[in-house]
Every structure is written in C-alpha cells, then in structure tokens.
C-alpha cells in the first residue's frame, strides 16, 4: 500500500479517532489544533463524569438521533457502543455502567483517558501540532496560522473535525462555515442543543431555590415524557430531563414564541394514590408542611407549585392533578455559549457514505460539525467518535482509489 499523508483539523474526539484509525492503516498523520492543547471540550465533559456511551438496546439507542438515525446507524457499525467500551478499557480505563444504563470511566474524568490516548497516538507516529489554526482554503491547499507564521498544507487527504458551535471558548467556534459554503457545501445554521430554557420565576423563588434539583420528575412536551432530573436556575430550568426534550422545546419556541413543559412532581404515584394521601386531614400543619409530609414534596417542588399564578386548588383530587401536571410556560432558549452541544452544521446530504464532501473530493468531515443532534447520555461522544472512524475508513478507501 502507498503511504499517504492525511491532515486532520481539530484534535477533539472525532479528529483523534480519525487519526488513530488512519495511522493504523499506515498513513502519515498530522493533526492540527487551534488551541494550545487538544480536546478541551472532552476534558470539560469529564467534569460531569464523562458519560462515554449508553448500554440501551440498539433500536432505542439509534432513536436518540432522530432524523439522523439511519446515518448514525452506519457509523455505529464502524464503532459500536460495545467497541467503544472495549476501546476505553484498552486505554487502561476501566468502565462501569451507572444505574441509568450510562457508561462512564471509573476515573469519572477525561484526563487519564486523554493522556493515555495521546501517548498511544504519538507512539503510532501521529504528529500533533497545537496552535495551528486552519483559516481557509488557498492555492489548492489549506492555510494555517501557526506560531511560525502562515503555512499552506497540501496533504493527500484531509479530515475536518472542527466540532459544533457550543461552548466556543473551548475551541469549536464554527468560523469555518463560510469557507465551506464558498466551496459549494451547504451548512445548516447552528442552533443550541442540550440547553436550558427561560422561565421567569419570582425573585423569592430564585433566591431560595436557584441551583436546586427537582428529582425525580417526569417532564412532558407534546407526546414525549422523560423521567429524570431537572435543575432550577436563575433564568429558568435545565438538566438531563430538560435536555432530552430540548430539540422539541427549542423548535416550538422558535415557531410559537413559547412552549409548555408539563412537570410531574410525583412520577412514582398515580393521581388516585396521591389524592388518597392528600385527602387525610391537614390538622395544624401549614399548607407547605402538609404538602411536604402528605404529598412527599421537596421544598423546591412546593415552591414550584406556588409559582403557578392563582391559588393552589384545595380539593385532594384537584391538588393531586396539579402536582402531577405543573404547566410551565418556557419563553426562551439559552444561547450556544451555554449549550452542551449544537444542532446544525454540514448537512448530511453533502457527504458520501465515507463522509467525504461531495463538493470537495479528498476532504472528509467528522464529529459535531456534521448536522445531527442527540440528547446527553453518551450519545454525543459515541457518534462523534464513530464518525471519526468512518471518515478514516472513507479516506483510506478513497486514497486507495486515486
């Protein structure tokens, strides 16, 4: 096999996975990273425990990718959730499955995994150039700003893995969109995904409860109900169960200016069971205490009930119905700066099965810069890493043909 040179732009999970597979296929690999150090977003993800993937059955797993399901299904054939667990363990990082089926490294952070991975990549001959920022196409090559000045690179193939548009201060600032559009690539505008929503609270509620979790809750938007946790914030509400509904809520707010989120504060009790508990005499308890004792509600849950305009319904049945369906009107979406991920990016019909841009032969795209989205739960890293493996396979197959 002829040894080719492949340059990868972006040292996040997608770019590094592409580098690993391309080096294993015998190519000379150079990775350019704009920031002074690689994979800052991966390291940030590690602060929350680093949820690598999920153990749910494949059908449910793929359902998390919505309209991108079929495409991501192909990616997972290259790197399945089981493969990803094996890969992590191969880097000396034992994993475990949390109670929700989510998979984490035992270390619960990304730094040991990243350190081991970078060492393995260096041993495989991968060259990592930090502070090497891609700034566009020029003279049939790629132009980079580097500490030594501007450089034009003309490798045999390129993998772009520049990330999406969330948390831009970690490196993925989406400045590349116009450069690709100028070359005829259609890029869907970025939107925040896995993000919090605005809900104007009273100042009393903010002062007492901002930062407190609502758990367990079941949240419903439209036909979809998610059980889990939410977090009250100064601006409104965020957290895992909210993120799982965030695509639908975001799109509803864009269309109608507001969206209704229905919160079930006692998801483990039926209306009848809750109503029976609330039918017992209140005695000398204040309403708040009685809601805590008989209703089993946390102080923040009682506070939330009181945020709904008007008096609390007093009949046991009506009150039970209210507790199991608190309707919150969400009025806005937090921005990309605070979103865990983004929707939008290079449209999936712009690439072939090997993730090569149809408009620019020899240039491949991987990771969150492609237009797909998924909730938190390990689905983001799984698809980013798997797409890196697909781009590497696509580039290897293409180089063998040209």
Which lies closer to ligand FAD via its Cβ, residue 102 or residue 266? 102
Which lies closer to ligand FAD via its Cβ, residue 40 or residue 324? 40
Q: Going by C-beta distance under 8 Å and a sequence separation of 6 or more, which residues neighbour residue 74? A: 353, 390
3-state helix, strand, coil in the chain (%, to 5): 40, 25, 35
Which lies closer to ligand FAD via its Cβ, residue 103 or residue 297? 103
Min dist. Cβ of residue 43 to ligand FAD (A): 9
Alpha helices in 129-213 (DSSP H): 177-182, 203-209
Min dist. Cβ of residue 105 to ligand FAD (A): 11
Two tokens, residue 213:
């979790």
Which lies closer to ligand FAD via its Cβ, residue 165 or residue 291? 165
Which lies closer to ligand FAD via its Cβ, residue 29 or residue 380? 380
What dihedral angle (degrees, nearest 10) is formed by the CA atoms of 277, 283, 284, 286? 30
Min dist. Cβ of residue 226 to ligand FAD (A): 17
Which lies closer to ligand FAD via its Cβ, residue 179 or residue 205? 179
Min dist. Cβ of residue 374 to ligand FAD (A): 8
Q: Which residues bind ligand FAD (CB under 6 A)?
A: 9-15, 32-35, 39-42, 44-45, 48, 50-51, 133-134, 161-163, 166-167, 171-172, 176, 340-341, 367-368, 376, 378, 380-381, 384
* Contact criterion met (CB below 8 Å) for 250 and 266: no
Min dist. Cβ of residue 15 to ligand FAD (A): 6
Min dist. Cβ of residue 303 to ligand FAD (A): 27
Min dist. Cβ of residue 155 to ligand FAD (A): 14
* Contact criterion met (CB below 8 Å) for 242 and 333: no
Which lies closer to ligand FAD via its Cβ, residue 21 or residue 266? 21
Q: Going by C-beta distance under 8 Å and a sequence separation of 6 or more, which residues neighbour residue 76? A: 58, 61, 62, 382, 383, 386
Residues 153, 215: Cα–Cα separation, whole Å: 52
Residues 137, 183: Cα–Cα separation, whole Å: 9
Two tokens, residue 138:
């020029």
* Contact criterion met (CB below 8 Å) for 127 and 142: no
Q: Which residues pair with 259 in a beta bridge?
A: 330
């Amino acid at each position: 096999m002829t040894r080719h040179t492949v340059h990868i732009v972006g040292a996040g999970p997608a770019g590094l996975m592409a580098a690993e597979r391309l080096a294993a296929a015998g190519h000379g690999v150079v990775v350019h990273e704009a920031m002074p150090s690689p994979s800052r977003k991966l390291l940030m993800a590690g602060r929350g425990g680093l949820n690598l993937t999920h153990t749910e059955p494949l059908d449910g797993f793929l359902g998390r990718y919505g309209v991108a399901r079929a495409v991501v299904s192909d990616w997972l054939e290259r790197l399945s959730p089981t493969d990803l667990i094996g890969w992590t363990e191969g880097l000396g990082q034992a994993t475990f499955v949390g109670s929700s089926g989510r998979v984490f490294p035992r270390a619960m952070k990304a730094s040991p995994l990243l350190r081991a991975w970078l060492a393995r990549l260096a041993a495989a001959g991968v060259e990592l150039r930090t502070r090497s920022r891609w700034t566009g196409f020029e003279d049939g090559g790629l132009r980079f700003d580097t500490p030594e000045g501007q450089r034009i690179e003309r490798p045999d193939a390129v993998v772009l893995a520049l990330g999406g548009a969330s948390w831009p201060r970690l490196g993925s600032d989406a400045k590349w969109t116009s450069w690709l559009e100028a070359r005829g690539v259609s890029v869907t505008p970025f939107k925040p995904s896995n993000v919090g929503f605005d809900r104007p609270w009273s100042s009393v509620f903010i002062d007492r409860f901002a930062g407190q979790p609502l758990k367990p809750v079941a949240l419903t938007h439209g036909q979809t109900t998610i059980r889990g946790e939410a977090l009250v914030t100064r601006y409104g509400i965020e957290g895992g169960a909210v993120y799982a509904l965030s695509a639908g809520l975001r799109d509803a707010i864009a269309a109608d200016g507001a969206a209704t989120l229905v919160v079930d504060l006692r998801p483990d009790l039926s209306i009848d069971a809750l109503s029976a508990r609330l039918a017992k005499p209140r005695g000398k308890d204040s309403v708040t205490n009685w809601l805590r004792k008989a209703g089993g509600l946390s102080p923040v849950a009682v506070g939330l009930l009181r945020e709904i305009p008007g008096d609390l319904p007093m009949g046991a049945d009506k009150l039970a119905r209210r507790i199991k369906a608190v309707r919150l009107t969400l009025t806005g979406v937090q921005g990309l700066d605070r979103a865990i991920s983004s929707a939008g990016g290079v449209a999936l019909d712009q690439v072939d099965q090997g993730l090569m841009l149809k408009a620019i032969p020899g240039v491949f795209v991987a990771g969150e810069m492609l237009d797909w989205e998924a909730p938190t739960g390990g689905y983001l890293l799984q698809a980013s890493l798997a797409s890196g493996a697909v781009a590497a396979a696509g580039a290897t197959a293409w180089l063998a043909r040209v």
